[in-house]
Structure 1
Amino acid sequence: RLNAAGRLDDMTLGIQCLLADSEVEATQIAHRLQDLNVQRRSIEADMQDGANLSLDDIDVANQFAISMYQVDWHQGVIGILASRIKERYHRPVIAFADAGGGLLKGSGRSIASLHLRDALDLLSKHQPDLILKFGGHAMAAGLTIKQVDFKLFNHSFEAVVKSLITEADLESILEVDGSLDSHEMTFQVAQTLENQVWGQGFAPPLFCDAFKVVNQRVLGEKHLKLSLKKDSIVIDAICFNQPEFLPDQIQAAYQLQTNSYNGSQKVQLNVRYVVSET
């Protein structure tokens, strides 16, 4: 929610919330931040729909990188969009939005095998007039190009990425921390994990187990709310961006998390990847 202020409006709104002198003032600003975040989600959903339509016409399997631009995309949300597409296709992704004055502003996200900032630096050395400015680090970067140069950038970035990584690097590998005993799937364990500090190179635990799907229903036309059974326990689970029903027996990679709703605190599984057991 703090990030939403900077994406859609003015980042000082988030700072004002943190520095508020009273709970009343902080709450008022927090409600404005919440409204901005709801707006951000709506914009992101529309952009994702547009991106999916464009990706249907692209042979992603034979590409090393993805560069995308649509005239109505919002500058403040292209980084999130690039991240979503990168997670889906496991390729470096740069999404562009109109910056006015004949310019495009791009936001990129990368995979572990490609240092994105260095790739852009190499491209700028090969074609000094193509990228007007850029900056960032291994996993994320921003840049500005001329609108008329988008197609040239698309081809040039693809060539540079192809020269730096191999096809094997484009295969997504899911690393898990093994199985979790059913008696450890508790609210207290989930709370303990959430209270730790996780980050780049030190990801939160991802467990893997076999489950029976006891119940499932679609939320918001694109998420699955599940009841999963392991041994003698049945536990709630959520599987985001999965509108289709799962088979009765599954192998799932998941994170243990807390879920607070209407004053009730429960444990649930955040299912990140699933395959059929049969």
Structure 2
Amino acid sequence: MRWTLKSKPEKQKIQALQNDLQVDEIIATLLLQRGIETFEQAKSFFRPTLDDLHNPYLMKDMDKAVNRIEKAISNEENILIFGDYDVDGTTAVSLLSSYLKSYYPNVATYIPDRYDEGYGISFKGIDYAEDNGITLIIALDCGIKSIEHIDYANQKGIDFIICDHHRPGDTLPNAIAVLDPKRSDCNYPYKELCGCGVGFKLIQALAKNRNQTIADLIPYLDLVATAIAADIVPITGENRVLAKFGLEVINSSPRPGIKALIQNIKKKILTITDVVFIIAPRINAAGRIKHGNEAVALLTEFDLQQAELFASEIEQHNADRKDLDKQITKEALLQIENNNEIERFTTVVYQEDWHKGVIGIVASRLIETYYRPTLVFTKSGDKLAASARSVKDFDVYNALEASSEYLEQFGGHMYAAGMTLKEENYQAFKNKFEEVVHKTIHPDLLIPEISVDAEIDLSDINERMMRILKQFEPFGPENMTPLFLSTKLNDTGYPKTLGNDNEHLKLFVKQSDSEGFGAIGFGLGKKISIAKDRKSFDAIYSIEENEWNGTVSLQLQLRDIK
């Protein structure tokens, strides 16, 4: 691990914010690092409200989208809500379809089959629309590069509205409306919405037209928060507001589908992290193992008993997914070792029978072992398909663009992407991708980094600090859980390991004469020797509340020690 300490803001800025907010230096430092410099900015950070959401009509083409939907409703046209098979896509389809169905019946949904149709808008989906007398398709979380598909639909007299958040190409599709805050000609103030977030802006605009208020849309925010968490978008600005209020819905009155997924979870309050690790993988498992339609059926079901049945099927898909990803990761690691590719700057592996639904997860697992940009390929029809994952601060999308002479198609973000190529181009592409990454990646980026917010003493930690830190939530990209460094610590003499394979580390740490704190380090069991025999060590950790037998105490969650 590479430890880096964030630079400390200017002293006078810290002091000014301390005085304005009546907080200590550590809290003022953390706020300034997050771009919060004034009392007003701090107020909207600590007390976000739904009034902070922007006017949806600031988004380019929003008026055109709303007018076309209203026209479809007054003409009693059939509308198809089309979305990708991942969490962002299925939550977006569930959101928009359930909102429209609350006052208009002629609404159907369509999720492409991951294996038969692949990612994004499909010709098969457009043919389905034509066969069913559908004249308007609203695409969510996809479509920004679907030039040919939209032309094909136009020839059939089917209109398209696109709601996407991916980077556009040089030419936009010829749709009735293209809602994407990343359009170069879109002046929408917040650029980092997920696909479901763009869908939410559309229902916000439709609601405005129907004299509804934002309060009428609160029940849909559990879906938006789930998508924000799963799509790993920045938890800043509008996303932070939507995530915060969406989490409140998840914890107080979630829709039956989400309630069915979480009812056996023992935690009282679910956080964004719980959504990432508990809710999102289960919703994703439907599209990975069976079909994304199952996720939409679950999320739009209003009968709890029926939702519980759907949830138990999805639970089984998730168990199957876990088995597959374990097995394929094992085979991929073996392939890297056998091919002697340990010294490369990239990891690119391929086996034709690997399950397409889990190759993205496998790519993330391989990064845990060999920390570098990773592509996992499998056979998909007569082509090869891959999922890409990247390391912190390296744009894998740009690297794919630079190697695209060998690709049939590709799309995605800085940290995650998908692509297809012809089998005969696999080796040439693998070599080119390695060459591009070798040339463009800084060697430091191949060592995992822990970025530390501030160095503190254990004596700085107290209940008041914890109360304020909790108000920094929800955490996520660009507003991560604050990490602290403390030096010259000692375990009080009885360090131990926990877990079946002794993989976790349990300590009780002190710093000179400070009060001691319990500390847990998940996955740090191998480092027990560093803390043995009361040896001095440094640690990076976050601070959390630990509840045991009805008593709540502060605990350090160790990220690394040395």
TM-aligned CA distance change 1:257 to 1:21, over 3 Å: farther
The whole-number CA distance in structure 1 between the counterparts of 2:506 and 2:445 is 35
Which structure is higher in helix share?
Answer: 2
Change (3 A) 1:184 1:88: farther
CA 1:85–1:247 in 2, change beyond 3 Å: closer, same or farther? same
CA contact under 8 A between 1:66 and 1:93: conserved in structure 2? yes
Alpha carbons of structure 1 residues 8 and 159: separation in structure 2 relative to 1, 3 Å: same
**Secondary structure of 2:505 counterpart:** strand
Structure 1: how far apart are the matches of 2:370 and 2:458?
32
- Structure 1 unaligned regions, length at least 5: none
Partner deviation per Cα, 1:242-261 (whole Å, 9 max, x = no partner):
67462250644344557899
1:216/1:227 contact within 8 Å kept: yes
Q: Which amino acid aligns with 2:483?
A: L
Provide the residue aligned with 1:44 in structure 2. Answer: 325
Distance in 2 between residues matched to 1:172 and 1:181, nearest whole Å:
26
The equivalent position to 2:292 in structure 1, one of 3, 6, 11, is 11
Equivalent residue letter for 1:116? V
Deviations 1:70-125 (A, max 9, x none): 23322111111212222443311111122132x2111101234432222211212x
Alignment-derived partner of residue 263 in structure 2? none
Which residue of 323, 342, 345 corresponds with 1:60?
A: 342
Counterpart residue identity of residue 310, structure 2: I
CA contact (8 A) 2:544 2:555 kept: yes
Shift of 1:180: 7.3
Query: Which of the two has greater strand per residue?
Result: 1
Answering whether residue 202 of structure 2 is matched by residue 202 of structure 1, we say no
Where does 1:1-278 land on structure 2 (aligned, <5 Å)? Answer: 1-57=282-338, 58-61=340-343, 63-101=344-382, 103-124=383-404, 127=405, 130-178=406-454, 179=456, 181=458, 184=461, 189=466, 193=470, 196-209=473-486, 210=489, 212=491, 214-219=495-500, 221=501, 224-231=503-510, 233=516, 235=518, 237-240=520-523, 244=526, 246-247=528-529, 249=531, 251-256=538-543, 271-275=558-562
The Cα shift of 1:173 comes to 2.5
Counterpart CA distance in 2 for 1:263 and 1:42 is 36
Matched residue SS, 2:448: coil
Q: Is the 8 A contact 1:8 1:40 kept in 2?
A: yes
* C-alpha displacement of 1:34: 2.1
| Larger Rg computed on CA atoms | 2
2:371–2:447 CA contact under 8 A, matched in 1: yes
Alpha-carbon separation, structure 1, partners of 2:324 and 2:553: 30
**Root mean square deviation of aligned Cα:** 3.5
Determine which structure has greater relative contact order: mean sequence separation of CA pairs < 8 Å that are 6+ residues apart, divided by chain length: 2
Equivalent position amino acid for 1:135 in 2:
G
- Describe the SS at the equivalent of 1:138: coil
Q: Distance in 1 between matches of 2:375 and 2:402?
A: 16
CA contact (8 A) 1:190 1:257 kept: no
CA distance in 2, matches of 1:82, 1:151: 18
Q: How many residues are aligned here?
A: 265
CA contact (8 A) 1:214 1:248 kept: no
8 Å contact kept, 2:504–2:525: no
Stretches of structure 2 lacking an aligned partner (at least 5 in a row) = 1-281, 532-536
